[in-house]
């Protein structure tokens, strides 16, 4: 009976989740939003996403094989996920090679530089976006009009670009003459924006508006978010506080419920709140930490949208809050069981 027995320290069994499973399931949760972008932006959405993913995988493979001489971990899905997320927060009109560079740079400068998976401070997809925005600002602000055929790659035909709702809103508010005439005709800035872009509330929900590749399909993103909640890969704390802060903050600033809904449903808030601000590696580890993080992201998003130069602030708000994570973690250490109520007993000599 005494063959070789396996001897390990307990626990002897294990929850089914692995790092790879989590990464692939988060990627899966992005599929509905991807289908929406396919419908809204056509073939370019596929090309940009694919190139982003390939770039990320190439970056990961290059660093691991050439510099670290370690076995490749492409199968764990984390590079693929970074590639997809990067693609989701850039315009679908981006040239394919720019997307490739984005994915590549995100992995190399956003993740591997810090020591690889688990060690990076900033969300690699957002690092990639920041690098692209600094390098190719025009490409990064050329938004496709929803539902217009533009082919798969190559130069864009004329007349296929349009402003994003947030962009147009900002321009409108900044144009005193326009605001004046709008006021005279009894139109709000919101009505003007909707009218100019020929969209309505349903478009904000379904995603048939201009914007980054994967951020427009709010309902689809919500679906993915609910999946992640059910699978316990995220908790409600970050998304709810982040979106709640933006919603209530807008309500407080504008005193207009319609504007509050507009800011909730525009830009990258859903994508950021469900998929970026919940990235495990770059956000706090406890639930209290999540609440603080979500609130901070929401507050900075508001600040940028209302006071800053950019129409949208989700990406930078998350990057800024990423930097505070060590601090948040330090101040949200749970009270230990049996702590406080009595001092630790000294070891008896």
Partner 1 sequence: MLNTRTFSGGLHPPDLKTTGGAAIIPLPPPKKVVIPLSQHIGAPGKPLVTVGATVEKGQPLSEPNGFVSAPVHASIAGKVVAVGNFMHPFGIASTAIVIEGTGEPEPPLSPVATDGLSLPDEEIKKRIQAAGVVGMGGATFPTHVKLSPPASKPIDTVILNGVECEPALTADHRLMLEEPDKIISGLKLVMKVLKAKRGYIGIENNKPDAIRLLDEKLRGEENLAVAPLEVKYPQGGEKQLIAAILDREVPSGGLPMDVGVVVQNVATAAAIHDAVFHQLPLIERVVTLAGSCVKNPGNYRVRIGTPVNEFIAAAGGLKPEVPLAKVISGGPMMGLALFDLAVPVIKGTSGILCWSAQEAALRPETTCIRCGRCIEACPMRLLPQRLKTLVDHQRWAQAYELGILDCMECGCCAYTCPANLPLVQSFKLGKKVVFAERKREADAQKAKGK
Kindly tell me which residue out of 76, 203, 215, 312 binds partner 1, with binding defined by CB under 8 A: 76
Phi, psi torsion values for 309, nearest 5 degrees? -80, -25
Q: Where are the alpha helices (DSSP H) in 111-256?
A: 124-135, 165-174, 176-185, 189-197, 201-206, 218-230, 237-254
Cβ nearer to partner 1, comparing 323 with 339: 339
CA 263, CA 230: separation in Å to the nearest integer?
26
Is residue 94 within 8 Å of 137, Cβ to Cβ? Answer: no
Closest by CA position to 193, among listed 259, 126, 107, 286: 259
Closest by CA position to 270, among listed 193, 208, 217: 217
Stretch that binds partner 1, among 45-53, 254-262, 267-275, 328-336 (CB under 8 A): 328-336
Residues 6+ apart with CB under 8 A from 311: 164, 166, 167, 169, 170, 267, 305
Cβ nearer to partner 1, comparing 18 with 175: 18
Kindly tell me which residue out of 69, 180, 255, 336 binds partner 1, with binding defined by CB under 8 A: 336
* 230 in contact with partner 1 (CB under 8 A): no
* 349 in contact with partner 1 (CB under 8 A): yes
What is the distance, to the nearest Å, from the Cα of residue 181 to the centroid of all Cα atoms in its chain? 37
Judged by CB under 8 A, the chain residues 278 through 307 that form the site for partner 1 are 280-281, 283-287
CA 309, CA 248: separation in Å to the nearest integer?
22
Kindly tell me which residue out of 117, 144, 228, 273 binds partner 1, with binding defined by CB under 8 A: 117
* 180 in contact with partner 1 (CB under 8 A): no
* 337 in contact with partner 1 (CB under 8 A): yes
Q: Can you state the percent helix, strand and coil of the chain, rounding each to 5?
A: 60, 0, 35
Cβ nearer to partner 1, comparing 153 with 323: 323
Cβ nearer to partner 1, comparing 12 with 180: 12
Q: What would the x/- binding string for partner 1 be over residues 242 to 281, using CB under 8 A?
A: --------------------------------------xx
Is residue 90 within 8 Å of 140, Cβ to Cβ? Answer: yes
Shortest distance, position 4 Cβ to partner 1, whole Å: 9
Shortest distance, position 20 Cβ to partner 1, whole Å: 8
The residues facing 144 across adjacent strands are 161
* 69 in contact with partner 1 (CB under 8 A): no
* 345 in contact with partner 1 (CB under 8 A): yes
* 118 in contact with partner 1 (CB under 8 A): yes
Q: Which residues bind partner 1 (CB under 8 A)?
A: 1-3, 5-15, 17-22, 73, 76, 116-118, 280-281, 283-287, 333-339, 341-349
């Amino acid at each position: 009976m005494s063959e070789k027995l396996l001897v390990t320290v307990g626990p002897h069994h294990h929850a089914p989740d692995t790092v790879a499973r989590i990464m692939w399931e988060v990627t899966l949760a992005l599929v509905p939003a991807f289908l929406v972008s396919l419908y809204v932006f056509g073939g370019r959405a596929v090309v940009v996403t694919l190139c982003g993913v390939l770039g990320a995988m190439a970056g990961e493979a290059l660093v691991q094989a050439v510099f670290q001489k370690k076995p490749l971990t492409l199968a764990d899905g984390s590079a693929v996920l970074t590639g997809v997320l990067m693609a989701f927060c850039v315009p679908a009109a981006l040239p394919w090679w720019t997307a490739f560079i984005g994915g590549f740079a995100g992995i190399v400068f956003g993740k591997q530089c810090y020591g690889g998976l688990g060690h990076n401070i900033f969300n690699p997809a957002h690092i990639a976006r920041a690098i692209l925005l600094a390098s190719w600002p025009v490409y990064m602000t050329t938004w496709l009009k929803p539902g217009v055929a533009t082919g798969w790659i190559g130069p864009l035909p004329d007349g296929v670009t349009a402003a994003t709702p947030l962009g147009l809103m900002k321009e409108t508010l900044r144009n005193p003459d326009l605001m004046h005439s709008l006021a005279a005709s009894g139109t709000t800035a919101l009505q003007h924006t909707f009218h100019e872009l020929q969209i309505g509330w349903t478009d904000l929900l379904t995603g048939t508006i201009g914007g980054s590749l994967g951020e427009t399909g709010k309902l689809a993103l919500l679906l993915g978010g609910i999946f992640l909640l059910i699978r316990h890969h995220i908790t409600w704390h970050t998304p709810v506080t982040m979106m709640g802060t933006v919603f209530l903050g807008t309500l407080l600033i504008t005193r207009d419920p319609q504007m509050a809904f507009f800011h909730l449903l525009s830009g990258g808030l859903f994508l950021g709140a469900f998929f970026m601000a919940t990235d495990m590696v770059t956000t706090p580890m406890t639930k209290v930490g999540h609440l603080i993080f979500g609130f901070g992201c929401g507050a900075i998003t508001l600040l940028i949208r209302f006071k800053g130069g950019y129409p949208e602030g989700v990406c930078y708000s998350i990057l800024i809050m990423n930097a505070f994570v060590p601090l948040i973690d330090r101040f949200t250490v749970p009270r230990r069981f049996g702590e406080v109520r009595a001092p630790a007993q000294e070891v008896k000599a």
